[in-house]
Amino acid sequence: MVYPGLVEMHRLALTHPAGTCPEMVSLADHLQRIVQAYLADPANAELKQLMLVVLTRMIANTILHEVYHSVLDTARDAAGKVTEPDLDEDGHTVASTTVKRDILATCRDLVDRTAVRLLRPADFPAAGSFRIEPFSQVLGLNLKNDQRVARHFALPPTPPFGS
Ligand SMILES: [Zn+2]
């Protein structure tokens, strides 16, 4: 079943309730530092380019995460909650020794989402305070979730393609 519900996206919180995972706290902090640095020096073309990379990758990654929720073939109960051993009831990956963390994990930091790493956040954007990692650092789907998508959208598509 392709999930027929709404796709919701919310802005990141500026304060973090107890129990917020460290990846989300780090993500919010690092995004704040990047945006604040740009706002303090909007004529800095290099900083503007980095902010554009971060924000476009953040938006694309978030949209992709939500689309995957909708196209995953998962078992659900009568209330619509996911009932798979490696996913929580909302369809988020629960990583373990046998389940690889992926784009459907709730707790994803800036590197997981954009491949941009703040090495010394307090010094950003000073030289050496950040690094753009290979794009492969951005989390994709783990094998199990990839197979769940493929059950609905097999690749490569085979003819006939519909008429
Ligand atoms: Zn989600």
The per-residue pLDDT for range 55-97, each reduced to its tens digit, is 999 999 999 999 999 889 899 999 989 999 999 999 999 999 9
Residue with tokens 């369809």: 91
Q: Where are the domains of the chain?
A: 22-152
- pTM of the predicted protein model: 0.86
- Ligand 1 centroid, distance to 104 Cα (angstroms): 6
Q: Which residues of 19-55 are buried (b: 16+ CB within 10 A; e: fewer)?
A: eeeebbbbbbbbbebbeebbeeeeeeeebeebbeebe
Q: How do residues 105-157 score in pLDDT, each as one tens digit?
A: 999 999 999 999 999 999 999 999 999 999 999 999 999 999 999 988 877 77
- Ligand 1 centroid, distance to 65 Cα (angstroms): 6
- Ligand 1 centroid, distance to 63 Cα (angstroms): 10
- Ligand 1 centroid, distance to 106 Cα (angstroms): 6
- Ligand 1 centroid, distance to 129 Cα (angstroms): 30
